[in-house]
Amino acid sequence: GSGSREAVERLVREHPVVVFMKGSPAQPLCGFSNAVVQILRLHGVEDYRAHDVLQDPDLRQGIKNYSNWPTIPQVYLNGEFVGGCDILLQMHQNGDLVEELKKLGIRSALLDAEKDQEKK
């Protein structure tokens, strides 16, 4: 089923940025999922795969087994498990997220925002 290790592996590798969340980016159904969406939006990352685990209990359990992480949301960059909301927020605050996105060939919108600040 969709919760098997192979199925989950395929999902985390199908896109450079993959998020397993409750609800959808347009309509997150929990505060933590919403926070992840907002952080990605701040960096201008609109092109990513989001999977709603509420639609699929199999996947919901499968992804927890796969990452060995008990909670949702979960963020994957380049097929690697990064963490949940707290870790993403930390990476956002300390600048690591900009670096990680750069490795994927994604330029964070925050870099351009900082440039604009300097001009003023």
The side-by-side arrangement of strands in the sheet containing 80-83 is 49-52, 17-21, 74-77, 80-83
Q: Out of 50-59, 88-97, 105-114, which region has the weakest mean confidence (pLDDT)?
A: 105-114
Q: Look up tokens 């201008």; give the residue.
A: 44
Any known ligand binding at 30?
Answer: yes
What is the Cα–Cα distance from 7 to 31, expressed in whole angstroms?
27
- Is the pTM higher than 0.85? The answer reads yes
Q: Tell me, what's the pLDDT at 120?
A: 63
Alpha-carbon distance of 23 to 118, in angstroms, equals 37
Per-residue pLDDT of 82-95, as tens digits, reads 999 999 999 999 99
Given a cut of 90, is residue 32 above it in pLDDT?
yes
Domains in the chain, CATH or no CATH each: 3-117 (3.40.30.10)
Which element (helix H / strand E) includes 107?
Answer: none
Whether the predicted pLDDT of 57 surpasses 80: yes
CA–CA gap between residue 109 and residue 57 (Å, rounded): 34
How many angstroms separate the CA atoms of 108 and 59, rounded? Answer: 30
Q: Could you tell me which residues are beta bridge partners of residue 51?
A: 20
